[in-house]
Copies of this chain bind each other. A is one copy, B any other.
């Protein structure tokens, strides 16, 4: 199925499986902590189409519950494989180590966090159960859970002659005809339509047919933060990143004044909408997401996205004359350091814009690392990714491990805040161990900047770390200390000379300095965070 790497931490309930994996063509990537394995596999799945985590029972499985939650929320097909106590020893000894409550406790937890689970406790059904679980992950683009009692490792099993695939929902042809008639009618009646390329287009590998429609109709195309880089930002039809009140004003104005918004697979989450109520008019929207096509105020539940795109393509479609607002170029060709000027968030991202190449993969952690990157002009499709919906801090560093292993030849540019880095930054040890070369830009501002703008207190501070000492800790890599624009320029020049190393760039910012998008974002979200005391 195209998987070449698995991610995990060994433990005695899964040791013999690790030995089998080591003897197989799969490369086992040991992370420092199971959390890192979960995030690395999630990123691997986003790039490669399927990812695998292998952990031990209890202490391993429950440590990746959060990664499973994120994979579910953001539609990343990750297979969580857990060792487990043997069938026989469960009877012989009621108190085996790593057990929480019942031997089934972990399975029940993962039932909440995955689309299906399989316990390989029966040699007659084991192969069919594996097939069913893997194909379910691919069908729904969501995580699945496979539990392997350790006394089943090495058991000989009958090989099934057919693959047990889950039932695939089919499109109702009458509903499809009605929906396409409506869609095409609305497109023909539109004068200033906008398309959104969403998560599901990429996950279900429908970018080509979606882009064909967009290019045939000359549709201006926006993305949400979660979907940034679904369309190359150098494409002439790229409108911008839409994020409600958090958008650049010309992008927000264009989208919100449009008379038809065609959202293909976008998730209208609160973050994607920039906080506050949606400013998109449902009556003027066509929205496909999570198996439902909503046209204006009514919905169809029995149409698949691939069939929908195909049927639209067969219709007689209009072509629009458009004038797009000028795209921000972020000073991409003109950046020059102002001598001795302290570095700011805005200037950092302007400089990074000039640093991107066709071989970069940008991974942004939640916070200003993400919001500051809103207008970073990425070159290729799927060159940028972020967990912009589930928004688990600390994703980006371990994600870079999975992303680079899934896309060898491309170099991750990791954008991460200092608070997030304290959660999972040590996974750079794994990058060193496996010969990876992420460039990690740490936005150092002493804490959780976005929360300071909502409700402040000492709880939003973190201890100042001297990140430049980290290469010594790992015995590898290089670190740059950046306080001024000159420093940044020198550091990015230095990065290119260290093509095979882990590189850290510690960017020391004024703690009150945030990106314009972040300021707009926090304003939107602060109201909800402090909707207290007033009730």
Contact = CB atoms under 8 A, between A and B. Distances in A.
Interface stretch (A201-209, A319-327, A447-455): A447-455
Contacts of A454: 12, 15
Interface stretch (A43-51, A147-155, A211-219, A297-305): A147-155
A529 interface: yes
A19 B466 CA distance: 28
Interface string A388-425: 01111110000000000000000000000000001111
Nearest to A422: B32
Contact of A528 (B95, B150, B460, B470): B150
A472 B479 CA distance: 14
A393 B35 CA distance: 13
A478 to B, nearest CB: 15
- Copies of this polypeptide in the complex: 2
B532 A18 contact: no
Contacts of A109: 65, 109, 112-113
Nearest to A473: B469
Contact of A62 (B18, B65, B93): B65
Interface string A96-134: 111111000100110011000000000000000000000
B457 A22 contact: yes
Given A65-B109, A95-B270, A459-B22, A532 B154 contact: yes
A424 B36 CA distance: 12
Interface stretch (A66-74, A182-190, A227-235): A66-74
A300 B155 CA distance: 41
Given A112-B105, A268-B95, A459-B22, A473 B470 contact: yes
A462 B32 contact: yes
A376 interface: no
A93 B464 CA distance: 37
A101 to B, nearest CB: 6
Contact of A535 (B93, B97, B151): B151
Given A58-B390, A97-B270, 19 more contacts: A12-B529, A13-B529, A15-B454, A21-B459, A30-B462, A58-B66, A58-B69, A58-B392, A59-B70, A62-B69, A62-B113, A63-B65, A100-B113, A100-B390, A105-B113, A422-B426, A426-B426, A466-B474, A466-B475
7 contacts: A15-B455, A15-B530, A22-B459, A30-B461, A65-B66, A73-B99, A150-B532
